Amino acid sequence: MIATFNQSNYQTLCDELATTDSDLARVIQTFGYPPFWSRENTFESLVHIILEQQVSLASALSALNKLKERIQEITPAGLLMLSDDELKACYFSRQKSAYVRYLAEALLSGNLNLAELESLPNDEVRSRLTALKGVGNWTVDIYLLMVLHRTDVFPVGDLAIVNGMKRLKQLPAAFTKDELLVMADSWRPYRSLASMLLWHYYLSAAR
């Protein structure tokens, strides 16, 4: 059975995790529970995650909203009707224009079926998505966590999570991603909930 979390068990799982880690417990005590960050299992959500690669969340959302203005509903067919210049006017880089087109074509051809991914184990979801041009492990991690709500995902390629973890655990700046992954093992099988708490801490402590 594939383990997932939802709005009804979200805070309970956060509490369960907090009993094993006093730093995470302190995040809840200080800042409350993290928001239930969630996205629909749609083409639009994957386009949004691709847009978020290596840029600020604000600029990614700005590009997504510009695209919505242009085509109203973000569908594979609608996106493929746009020219390079039209996508550029929506703040898409040349690279990301190619990535979302590739994704749209995979969905229209039937090479990728998002509904099918919901019943597949994490490794199989990762294998299918990383076969697409422009989709790497960070993109898959965010999809598994925010869209499919799998309980045990740790996006070690996410800068906010890395920095949040280093700050919360008072780790040296030189601490490597491999070392962080080893530390995160103690949060299994709820590394996704730990990730949500780390995002929440990173965003709240910066205010």
Name the token pair of 126. Answer: 């990762």
pLDDT along the chain (207 residues), means of 10: 95 97 97 97 98 93 96 96 97 97 98 98 98 96 98 96 96 94 97 98 85
Which domains are seen in the chain, by residue range?
A: 10-36+153-205 (1.10.1670.40), 43-147 (1.10.340.30)
Whole-model pTM: value is 0.96
Torsion over CA: 168, 203, 43, 130 (sign): negative
Helices (H), ranges, 110-188 = 114-117, 122-130, 137-142, 159-168, 177-184
**For residue 205, how many other CB atoms are within 10 A of its CB?**
13
- Cα distances (Å, whole numbers) of residue 161 to 30, 51, 131, 167, 204: 18, 18, 25, 10, 13
Q: Evaluate whether 87 touches 37 at the Cβ level (below 8 Å).
A: no
